[in-house]
Amino acid sequence: MTFPVVDPATLVEIATVEDMDVPAALRAVDAAAGALRAWSTTPPRRRSEILHRAYELMIRDREFLAGLISRENGKSLSDAAGEVTYAAEFFRWFAEEAVRPGGDFGESPAGGARTLVTHRPVGVAALVTPWNFPAAMITRKIGPALAAGCTAVVKPAAETPLTALAVAALLTEAGLPDGVITVVTTTDAAGVVGAWLDDERVRKISFTGSTAVGRVLLRHAAGRVVNSSMELGGNAPFIVAGDADLEAAVAGAMIAKFRNGGQACTAANRFYVHRSIATGFTARFGAAVEKLTVGPAAGGATIGPLISAAALRRVTRTVDEAIAAGARISHRATLPDAPGHFYPPTVLVDVPADAAVLREEIFGPVAAITTWSDEDELLELVNDSEYGLAAYVFSGDLARALRLGEAIDAGMVGINRGLVSDPSAPFGGVKQSGLGREGAREGLREFQETQYLSVDWPAQLSHSGGLWSS
């Protein structure tokens, strides 16, 4: 059995891939379990070399990979090329982390023993990735898993399986042994992931996706107490203080809101602009939005389609409900005469505080602007959310920006910048935005178990050498 991959910008089928069933998914676990001992005992330097070679191959094939991402995801070619570079950097970062597994050795406070602490691979990992960043979400999980010495089974989104298969092929070219990574393409996500969570050999699940699905997976994982990392939904606030540099704030807003057409968990959704500059900010921001070109990537557009007809209906409904409740459209880009799932980048003002467009993750090119004047009231509004992934603060007073940033319930805060993602930084949220971190040293730890050995230390060894030698 196969299933089609469709370009959301043209609605044209671009490929068919194998629709793997549960038995096939479990055979992938067989391969990962069979490869685990050899890979986990492979010297860290060799694991590092393979990851670094994979980084080089992704950069070599950047143009091809960008075109592939753009066709199956719909994003602009510039966005896709940027994603490839970003994705490759995770391989480079974790190539360097692979040779620094960490550990500790010290004297027990009571004496007579030494404690030896090591970090070892958790085992076979199940990696479940979304469609919005089909390269970066793969490498952000595979990189640390391989660096730690884990093997993995990978289920990419059914909308974007081609990029995952291409990345896996590059890993093979880089020297990764058979069975260490297996990509499972399927339309039966629930069946496949459920079977993995029921398999005693799978010791880890790392999932990126919606909070609703994350809750389901956590309940399932609880049955075996499976080590779980969850990067879930967000509803990022974007705060503009009265002393902010408007030009910088608008530039940051365009990145934070419209990267990947707003289809990002870190996308700015709720714009809180100080009343004293709201008119000026909205005018500049709206003018920039109206200049965005919407359409297929092949035509040079800067904003592509939403991923599906269902996504288009959801965004349309959310905006229509906000308008019915009193919001109004201040600025809007032009739609193309094309068959894809396009929605015009839109700026809403006068948005009621209880509107769904402010309460729910939009996942589309819609910016909802409200105003504020009192900082305490602002923080109450900002933190009145079940989500806590990312936030953005723009202010000309760094002390104020830091004060606001530290008061926001979010795992990541951009201060005078519209981008928070970086392979060297711990990516993740609080509240219902997830568990654990990806990237940085913390990302490696997500795929390691900590073990300590208590070593009996005879007294005659305690003072040998150095100042205590005879």
Residue 465 counted as domain residue? no
Interval 297-336: pLDDT, tens: 988 999 999 999 999 999 999 999 999 999 999 999 999 9
Residues 222 and 325 in one domain: no
Provide the pairing of β-strand 448-456 with 434-435: unpaired
Q: Give the pLDDT of residue 461.
A: 75
Residues 59 and 207 in one domain: yes
Q: How far is CA 469 from CA 36, 105, 191, 463, 464, in A?
A: 45, 22, 65, 7, 6
pLDDT band at 463 (very low <50, low <70, confident <90, very high): low
HEC letters along 21-70: CHHHHHHHHHHHHHHHHHHHCCCHHHHHHHHHHHHHHHHHCHHHHHHHHH
Could you please report the per-residue DSSP string of 269-314?
EEEEEEGGGHHHHHHHHHHHHHT--BS-GGGT-SB---SSHHHHHH
Q: How far is CA 195 from CA 23, 73, 129, 437, in A?
A: 9, 27, 17, 25
Residues 262 and 381 in one domain: yes
pLDDT of 468 over the 50 cut: no
Q: How far is CA 78 from CA 63, 70, 91, 337, 433, in A?
A: 10, 9, 21, 22, 28
Residues 393 and 257 in one domain: yes
Residues 187 and 300 in one domain: no
The mean predicted confidence, pLDDT, of the chain is 96
**The two structure tokens encoding residue 247:** 């030009």
CATH number for the domain including 196? Answer: 3.40.605.10
CB crowding 268-281: b at 16 or more within 10 Å, else e: bbbbbbbeebbeeb
Give residue 82's domain range.
2-232+429-454
CATH number for the domain including 409? Answer: 3.40.309.10
Residue 91 counted as domain residue? yes
Residue 84 counted as domain residue? yes
DSSP letter (8 states) at residue 433: G
Residues 149 and 58 in one domain: yes
37: Cβ–Cβ under 8 A, 6 or more apart, which residues? none
Q: Please tell me the pTM assigned to this model.
A: 0.95
Residues 52 and 188 in one domain: yes
Residues 215 and 257 in one domain: no
Q: What are phi and psi of 281, to 5 degrees?
A: -65, -45
Residues 123 and 272 in one domain: no
Question: C-alpha dihedral over 374, 376, 382, 383, to 10 degrees?
Answer: -170
Q: Give the pLDDT of residue 458.
A: 86
Q: Give the pLDDT of residue 469.
A: 43
Structural domain total, the chain: 2
- Percent of the chain residues past pLDDT 90, beyond the cut: 95
Start-to-end CA distance of the chain, whole Å, equals 77
Interval 269-298: pLDDT, tens: 999 999 999 999 999 999 999 999 999 998
pLDDT of 456 over the 60 cut: yes
Interval 36-83: pLDDT, tens: 999 999 999 999 999 999 999 999 999 999 999 999 999 999 999 999
* Alpha carbon distance 275, 281 (integer Å): 10
Mean pLDDT of the region 381-400: 98
Residue 459 counted as domain residue? no
pLDDT of 467 over the 80 cut: no
Which one is catalytic: 72, 97, 231, 438? 231
Examine the residue annotation and report whether 231 is marked as an active-site residue of this protein.
yes
